[in-house]
Amino acid sequence: MNEKPNAEKIYPRTKDFTTVYLKNVITNPNIIVGDFTMYNDFCNDPKDFQKNNVLYHYPYVNNDKLIIGKFCSIACNAKFIFNSANHTLNSLSTYPFPIFQDEWDSTMNITEAWDNKGDIVIGNDVWIGYDTVIMSGVHIGDGAIIGTRALVTKDVPPYAIVGGVPAKVIRKRFEDLVIDDLLKIKWWDWSIEKISEKLSDIRKGNLEKLKE
């Protein structure tokens, strides 16, 4: 008999130290991750996700957040690029004078060096492919798929498949009525017991069984 799924584990697979349940290796309070979201890294220690993959993230300056839902799958080397990587376009120069306050003008606010586009928000059951880059302010809907090496600069609708540089919608995973039903069902918010009971129907696409 299988063990009951345990969202509090670090390593969900026996003797596999390249895959972690991400929320259990995060210490930064401005990175919020849902249960069972997994990260795989065959190049670096996956426990170092917040150091290696969440870049230019200085929440004590911007208070910006990375929010990732439940049951997401994040592939090796996916990067999340935050606001402090930007250079402002509201100036005649892109040079970040405000970060050199002591050199030029101590009255400048450091956050004026970049344009603040907000948090990165990832929905539930999102698959983020290898070597993708997701930029600040982007919101990705539930059930979306982000293709390998995509550069995501704009919001992604639920259950859309996107790819390319910059990323564009390739197609929807399902018809609109199916997407609407899935967004109403929100199976990822069910109890572990109910998900286990309905797992075969989830995997085989038996939507009507999920609606019962």
Q: Which residues are catalytic?
A: 87
Q: From 49, 66, 69, select the one nearest 57 (Cα to Cα).
A: 66
Query: Cis before residue 12, ω within 30 degrees of 0?
Result: no
Q: Which residues pair with 33 in a beta bridge?
A: 68
CB-based contact 78:148 (threshold 8 Å) = no
Task: Return the residue matching tokens 């895959």.
Answer: 19
Q: Go through the chain and tell me how many residues it has.
A: 212
Strand ranges of the sheet holding 120-122, from the earlier edge strand across to the other edge: 31-33, 66-68, 120-122, 139-140
Q: From 96, 138, 93, select the one nearest 117 (Cα to Cα).
A: 138
According to DSSP, residue 183 is labeled H
Angle value at C-alpha 50, between 54 and 62, nearest 5 degrees: 55
Helices in 18-108 by DSSP H: which ranges? 49-52, 59-62
User: What tokens were used for 212?
Assistant: 């019962």
